[in-house]
């Protein structure tokens, strides 16, 4: 499914009205009706209540399109006549034309309405007593932090309500450039209209959205399948599946590729072992591991399926003739290994740089500049940093940024670095962002706290390397690998609760089998 910036969704709105003749008022009507239908389905599944009737549903309406959607939903709830319905308007005198029309319908129906700006006390009381709150205070068009009465309403929802909170399109407060310290509704469920929006999936914004569901409201399919590209904004892919394994029934180990891994030192032999297992379980037919002499006996005795060797000098041409894909960095430590990494890059093979290897890459970048790196990475290599590693990589460079900016707008921070290094970058967090040197991007939703276990990143690095070894491109390997990693994490959590990284690696094989059979129901994650 496509994921778009709010500006692109606004352009889709405009084109639907001006080029396809679909009135905005009709789109708003469809949005409210279909969003309420979607809520009703979700409520029955996620929050069944023994008291099916008599709930107090409160609809919070600002002056824009989200407020209009909320008013349509209030009418739908009222006409169903099974629950008590109340509307809290921010200010009825500051509504756009479409929202004002729906406000007058709601008023004529006799639905109770209170106004925040003229009766804040009653509005707060209504919010406090609501069983379900529908947030239509503001939309994605905001710039910067919410202020004034809109911010006060958001604060009341977050601090005074104990009800189930449903955000309409996006939680109020989320927009382009949202920072974690800005006021924003904390929703249990977000019903986003038409297509998923980028602010919902930034690391800063994602915790506010809860479960995300996309509401289909009648936009022309041409606009959704190929969204317009604005001068400064493009669309990406929200990855919801893995794709079936590319192997054939007659394949044997050499056809499936040979992954070679440089990892481990004293105290971090586990990182090397987990990366090797991840590569094997992701499909590599053969896995070789090169490690420090001091821990070679440990890993050789532990990894019966992996060909373990102590580090030894190798030539780039030898690597090219023996292996399909390379991985460097898990558990490498802070000792300089720049000569090893340079040889790996010179091999012209595809590869992954993870963990401590990212610091070694920084050394090469500082020493030789980006032009030499570009000639060796050439879009074939993948970098897999978490936010701290990314910030350390770009520190004191022209691409330096801070953590709030990175978590608020990962594309702005990561795309220039991917282009400069000619590498695909996989930015790991509770949401995974994958960016190519050309600016192509994809998002893998996570929100699985069980993934926050030592060694999870080593498994991911191995998985992506195993994918590369099978012959797919760097961007595709990153997308498939991150999707497989998250699906394995969901499966491991569903079947065993809090897990260790070795359990995660083992779940990879089960996910692949289910994917090959087309049995993906248990792998469905948050959307």
pLDDT digits (tens, 9 = 90+) for 206-232: 999 999 999 998 899 999 999 998 877
DSSP assignments along 247-277, one per residue? --TT--TTTT-EEEEE---TT-HHHHHHHHH
Q: What is the pLDDT of residues 96-125, one digit of tens each?
A: 999 999 999 999 999 999 999 999 999 999
Distance CA 520, CA 517 (A): 8
Q: Which pLDDT score is estimated for 283?
A: 85
Cβ contact 492:503 at 8 Å: yes
Q: How distant is the alpha carbon of residue 391 from its chain centre?
A: 19
Residues 106, 74: contact at Cβ < 8 Å?
Answer: yes
Which DSSP state fits 205?
Answer: T
Residue 232, pLDDT score: 72
Helix (H) or strand (E) holding 18: helix 6-18
pLDDT tens column, 424-470: 999 999 999 999 999 999 999 999 999 999 999 999 999 999 999 98
Q: Look up the pTM and report it.
A: 0.94
- pLDDT (0 to 100) of residue 524: 46
Could you give all domains of the chain from N- to C-terminal order, each with its CATH number?
A: 2-238 (3.40.50.10260), 258-518 (3.40.1190.20)
Which residue, among 304, 269, 267, has the nearest Cα to 290 in the 3D structure? Answer: 269
Ranges of residues in the chain with a pLDDT under 70 are: 47-53, 243-255, 515-527
What contacts 481, CB < 8 A, 6 or more positions away? 282, 426, 460, 463, 464, 466, 467
The whole-number pLDDT of residue 526 equals: 46
């Amino acid at each position: 499914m496509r994921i778009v910036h709010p500006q692109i969704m606004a352009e889709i709105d405009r084109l639907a009205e001006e080029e396809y003749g679909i009135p905005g008022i009709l789109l708003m009507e469809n949005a409210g009706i279909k969003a309420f239908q979607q809520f009703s389905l979700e409520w029955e599944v996620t929050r069944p209540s023994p008291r099916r009737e008599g709930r107090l549903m409160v609809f919070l309406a600002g002056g824009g399109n989200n407020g209009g959607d909320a008013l349509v939903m209030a009418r739908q709830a009222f006409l169903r006549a099974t629950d008590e319905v109340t509307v809290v308007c921010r200010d009825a005198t500051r509504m756009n034309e479409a929202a004002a029309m729906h406000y007058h319908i709601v008023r004529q129906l006799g639905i109770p309405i209170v106004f925040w700006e003229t009766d804040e006390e009653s509005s707060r009381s209504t919010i406090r007593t609501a069983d379900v709150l529908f947030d239509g205070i503001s939309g994605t068009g905001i710039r910067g932090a919410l202020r004034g009465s809109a911010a006060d309403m958001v604060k009341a929802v977050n601090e005074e309500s104990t009800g189930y909170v449903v955000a309409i399109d996006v939680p109020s407060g989320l927009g382009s450039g949202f920072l974690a310290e800005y006021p924003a509704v904390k929703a249990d469920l977000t019903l986003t209209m038409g297509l998923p929006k980028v602010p919902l999936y930034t690391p800063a914004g994602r915790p506010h959205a809860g479960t995300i569901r996309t509401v289909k409201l009648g936009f022309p399919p041409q606009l959704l399948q190929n969204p317009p590209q604005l001068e400064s904004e493009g669309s990406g892919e929200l990855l919801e599946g893995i794709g079936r394994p590319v192997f054939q029934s007659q394949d044997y180990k050499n056809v499936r590729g040979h992954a070679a891994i440089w990892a481990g030192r004293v105290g971090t032999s586990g990182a090397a072992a987990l990366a090797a297992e991840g590569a094997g379980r992701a499909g590599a037919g053969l896995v070789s591991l090169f490690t420090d002499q001091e821990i070679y006996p440990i890993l050789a005795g532990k990894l019966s399926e992996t060909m373990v060797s102590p580090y030894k000098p190798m030539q780039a041409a030898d690597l090219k003739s023996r292996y399909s894909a390379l991985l460097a960095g898990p558990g490498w430590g802070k000792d300089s290994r720049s000569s090893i990494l340079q040889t790996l890059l010179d091999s012209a093979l595809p590869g992954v740089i993870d963990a401590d290897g990212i610091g070694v890459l920084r050394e090469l970048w500082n020493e030789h500049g980006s032009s030499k790196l570009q000639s060796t990475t050439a879009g074939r290599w993948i970098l897999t940093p978490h936010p701290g590693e990314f910030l350390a990589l770009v520190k004191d460079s022209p691409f330096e940024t801070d953590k709030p900016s990175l978590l608020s707008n990962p594309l702005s921070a990561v795309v220039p670095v991917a282009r400069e290094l000619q590498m695909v970058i996989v930015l790991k967090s509770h949401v995974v962002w994958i960016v190519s040197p050309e600016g192509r991007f994809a998002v893998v939703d996570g929100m699985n706290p069980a993934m926050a276990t030592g060694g999870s990143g080593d498994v991911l690095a191995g998985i992506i390397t195993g994918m590369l070894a099978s012959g797919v491109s760097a961007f595709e390997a990153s997308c498939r690998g991150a999707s497989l990693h998250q699906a394995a994490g969901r499966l491991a959590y569903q079947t065993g609760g809090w897990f260790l990284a070795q359990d995660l690696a083992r779940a990879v094989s089960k996910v692949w089998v289910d994917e090959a059979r087309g049995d993906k129901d248990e792998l469905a994650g948050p959307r």
